[in-house]
Amino acid sequence: MRTINDFNFKNKKALIRVDFNVPLDADLKVTDNNRIVAAKPTILKILEDGGSAILMSHLGRPNGQASPELSLKNILKEVTQVIGVDVKFVEDCVGPVAEKAVADLKSGEVLLLENLRFHSEEEQGDEEFAEKLSRLGDIYVNDAFGTAHRAHASTTIVAKFFPKQKCFGFLLAKEIEAIEKVMRTGEKPITAILGGAKVSSKITIIENILDKVDHLIIGGGMTYTFVKAQGGKVGDSICEDDKMELALEILAEAKKKGVEVHIPVDVLAADDFSKDANTKVVNSDEIPDGWQGLDAGPQTLENFKKVILDSKTILWNGPVGVFEMEPFAKGTIAVGNFIAEATKNGAFSLVGGGDSVSAVKQFGFEEKVSYVSTGGGAMLESLEGKDLPGIAAILEE
């Protein structure tokens, strides 16, 4: 795996695919700069070597149309502030204007190109567009894990124009290593904690990881499909009736492979999907009509705690309750605390997938786990065992 450490960038122009698809407020100010911060080490390594950095990214979904609200000019000030270098900007990402800006770029300087998706060819994976992008750099660096599952011009196709001059940035390399640790090289026992609302959205992940893990903890809305499939009463809880047979098949397959599955035995139930609802702790298979399970119960959390603290490798993908509502956040916070404790004791912990990442940030666990993935969809596809085109393109000679 060629990383940025395998190259010296002295007098070289590095064309870097970053993921600066950051949220903006009504005044077009950046509200969360994590993705910019994550790219900083890669950019600084290039500058310290004596090279220059050309940054390309998308922002939002402009569908091939230029739009002032989605111009990367809006994030220029934030990028400059984070990187600590006066970042230049050019109004296009290909063609004479971009090529001139690159030609004028000196060692130690950084140039931000305009939104790639202002050109529809970017998402189409157009080869001619990728070739135009390739003219802007001597070495291609992919540091955008969040888009590595897309075969777009800037993430995948452009790599073929840099046969020996392409590599992973620090961020993307760390993402690959973190997933490898869980899926291939992790120290046992390995535990996967899968939460979220639906079994259907996690089927491929479950099928793919059953060969790798020793324990599978099921949480969140998925719980009730498994409980009902085994004859339990789940009241008004979210449940995919058409996936109950699948849930039983998963349990049978896990048993065959020697994987212990841990499903909540009690839950915090509410008589309404509201933070002001009446609540009570009930057995997960005895939820009364008119009530719905919205968080893991105390006995369940004790059971989960034991499994997590005994683990050496932990994957967390999905909350165990409706953590967005304060009364139903306790389970997710408790799981975060258990993972933090296990990590402190030497376990490797990887958190990935939209909602669990949000929970980790919201409740302050970012520094207490081993790695928080920056790529939602890309992370999920990795866990499903799919080859990500953006990664495969760098690995090809």
350 annotated as belonging to a binding site for a ligand? no
Q: Is 177 annotated as a binding residue?
A: no
293 in a known ligand binding site:
yes
Q: Could you tell me the end-to-end alpha-carbon distance of the chain, in angstroms, rounded to an integer? A: 11
Is 117 marked as a binding-site residue?
yes
135 is in an annotated binding site: no
Annotated binding residue 346:
no
127 annotated ligand-binding residue: no
Q: Residue 20 annotated as binding?
A: yes
352 labelled catalytic: no
Give yes or no: 84 in active site.
Answer: no
Determine if residue 59 is labeled as part of a ligand binding site: yes
Cα(20)–Cα(60) distance, rounded to whole angstroms? Answer: 10
36 in Cβ contact with 44 (< 8 Å): no
Kindly name the residue from 12, 13, 35, 212 that is annotated as catalytic. Answer: 35
The one catalytic residue in 88, 198, 233, 275 is 198
SS3 content of the chain, % helix, strand, coil (to 5): 45, 15, 40
Tell me whether residue 164 is annotated as binding.
no
Active site residue 219: no
40, 108, 233, 377: which one is catalytic?
377
Count the Cβ atoms, other than its own, within 10 Å of residue 354. 15
Active-site hit among 2, 73, 275, 354: 354
| Cis ω for the linkage preceding 264 (within 30 of 0) | no
278-281 CB contacts, 8 Å cutoff, 24+ apart = 279/327
Q: How far from 41 is each of 83, 108, 272, CA to CA, in Å? A: 9, 14, 47
- Residue 17 marked as a ligand binder: no
Contact 343, 368 (CB under 8 A): yes
- For the annotated binding site, the residues are 19-21, 35, 58-61, 117, 150, 202, 293, 324, 353-356
- For the annotated binding site for ATP, the residues are 202, 293, 324, 353-356
- For the annotated binding site for substrate, the residues are 19-21, 35, 58-61, 117, 150
- For the annotated binding site for (2R)-3-phosphoglycerate, the residues are 35, 117, 150
Q: Which residues are catalytic?
A: 35, 198, 354, 377
